[in-house]
Each structure stands twice: as C-alpha cells, then as structure tokens.
Amino acid sequence: MTWRNHSLLTDPAYTMPVVPAAPPAGVAWLRASVARFSDGAVHERRRALVVADLDRIDPHHLGERAARGGRGPVEVLAEALGLPGELAAGIAADVAVVATAYQPHTAITAEADRAVVRLVRVCGGVADEATANRIGLLVQACDATKALTAHLAAGRTDPPVPHTRRVAPNGTTIKIDLTESPFGLGPHACPAQTHAHSLASAPLKAPTPQPTRTNPT
C-alpha cells in the first residue's frame, strides 16, 4: 500500500528502515554507513559529509561538463568529486551494479559486494563514513538522474523516484508517494536537487551531432 500523505516525511515517528551494522566493505556496510538509511544525530553527521562534498561542486559547471556529451551523470559527478577521470567509466559501471542492491528491501549480490570494495579503493581506500557517503551520493545519482532526464525529455512532471519507504509507529514498513515532493521533505530531503537538475537537463542541451557530408562523386 502506498500512502499519499507526504507530510509523513516530516514526522519523526516515521523512521527509516533499520539496517544492521556490518563490517567493511560490502553493500551491507554501505547501507549501514550512509545518511540515507539513518536517523537522528547519526543522520545529521553523515548528511553533513554529503553536503560538504556537494558544496565543492558548482551545479552550473556540473551541467556544463555533462552537456559536452559522451559521459553519463555518474561519470561527470565522479570527476567533479575529484575521482580519477580515467577511471570514471569503471566507477559508473560499479555504481550501477551497487544501485541494484542498495535499497534494504533488495537482495545483496556477490557482484555488488565486489563493486563496493572497488569503489572504496578508488575513493581513497579507507572504509569510513566519508567514503561510504561519497559512494552513496554516486549511487543515488545513478538511476534517479537518468530517470529525471527521461522525464524532462518527455515533458513529464511525475517524480523519477515514485515513492520512498518509512517504518510506521506500529512497525509496518510503508511506501510514501513522492508526487507532491519529488525530492523529499524534512531531514531526508535530497540535498542535491540543484545538482540533479543540472545533470539531468544537460543531455537535452547538448548539441545534436550533424551528419557527415560527403562530396558527390
């Protein structure tokens, strides 16, 4: 069942799904270390790490990079975060694998665990909260940004991520419709809304390749 009362996103009685602690450095560790799946003071501390990374990136410049074409949103964002440009394609491939197992209600695969290990390595090699939340930022920019691009291209106004999950006071996990708040509300509202729009709209502004003209023979 999906609830349409988006004000529940600001109600502290409706919490994030609990993820158990886990040793470094697979998907379970990533879930347990990111702001996305935490609440309270722990969430505030981790969210500050994400915001600090975002504050170093000018959304306009991010969009300009993406509009040059040839690279997806994760590749552009990874380079903007200071990760090696020559590894951007591999980073994006690993992020796409992790994205399939990121949510607590999805199954963790060995492939996704290995991808997290590689992402930790490329992000500096230290499996700490800063690294986890940088990876989380890339993961959350993966499918959602591509979906937002598709929606913008089609003139659609529905959210690229249709719903989010919360645990109700009675312990039931519920879905909350995001139609009225595509980037969320409250403590877990997306801190990268401007960056996401810059990345998502860039492909629509990229110059269209012109057909090659040949001289008649």
- The per-residue pLDDT for range 2-19, each reduced to its tens digit, is 777 888 999 999 999 989
1 pLDDT band, cuts 50/70/90, is low
pLDDT for the residue 207: 58
- Indicate the SS3 state at residue 165: strand
Q: How confident is the model over 131-150, as a mean pLDDT?
A: 94
10-47: pLDDT as tens digits: 999 999 998 999 998 899 999 999 999 999 999 999 99
C-alpha pair distances (Å), 5 with each of 160, 183, 192: 18, 15, 23
> Is the pLDDT confidence value at 216 over 80?
no
Residue 15 CA to residue 150 CA, distance in Å, equals 30
More confident of the two residues 149 and 215? 149
Tokens describing residue 12: 């502290």
Dihedral sign for Cα atoms in the order 28, 34, 38, 42: positive
Q: How confident is the model over 173-201, as a mean pLDDT?
A: 93
pLDDT for the residue 123: 93
pLDDT for the residue 214: 47
pLDDT for the residue 208: 54
Closest CA to 45 of 119, 166, 138, 132: 132
Residue 62 CA to residue 77 CA, distance in Å, equals 7
Residue 98 CA to residue 105 CA, distance in Å, equals 14
- Other Cβ atoms less than 10 A from the Cβ of 187: the count is 15
Residue 48 CA to residue 215 CA, distance in Å, equals 59
pTM over 0.95: no
pLDDT for the residue 108: 97
> Is the pLDDT confidence value at 213 over 80?
no
**Alpha helices, H only, 18-157:** 27-33, 40-55, 59-67, 73-80, 88-99, 110-122, 129-140, 143-154
Q: Are 136 and 35 in contact (CB under 8 A)?
A: yes
49-102: pLDDT as tens digits: 999 999 999 999 999 999 987 889 999 999 999 999 899 999 999 999 999 999
